[in-house]
Amino acid sequence: MRRLLMASILSLALASGTGAAWAQQNTGAKEDIKDAGKSTARAAKKTGKAIKKTTKKTVHAGAKATRKGAGKVEEKTTTQK
């Protein structure tokens, strides 16, 4: 009888402990939606920064090519006098 009582108490303690842990892990749909929104925001920021960097590089490269081309045109016009 004593052994059965101890086994019951132990089983009850283990069952209540795992139930509490499961309840903490199961955050629900609301928390999942919040996490998804935060992930989307981080991805949008990262994409925006990458686009900004690439655009800046492209604009600077284009300006450099324009300066180079303008220099060539200026050389051609000044030597034909």
Judge whether 2 lies within some domain: no
Position 16 scores a pLDDT of 65
Judge whether 13 lies within some domain: no
Judge whether 76 lies within some domain: yes
Judge whether 80 lies within some domain: yes
Judge whether 65 lies within some domain: yes
pLDDT tens figures, 19-78: 555 556 667 898 999 999 999 999 999 999 999 999 999 999 999 999 988 888 877 887
With 80 as the cut, is the pLDDT of residue 10 above it?
no
Judge whether 23 lies within some domain: no
The domain containing residue 56 runs over which residues?
45-81
Judge whether 58 lies within some domain: yes
- The whole-angstrom distance between residue 69's C-alpha and the CA centroid of its chain comes to 41
pTM of structure: 0.49
Say which DSSP state 80 is in. T
Structurally, the chain folds into a number of domains equal to: 1
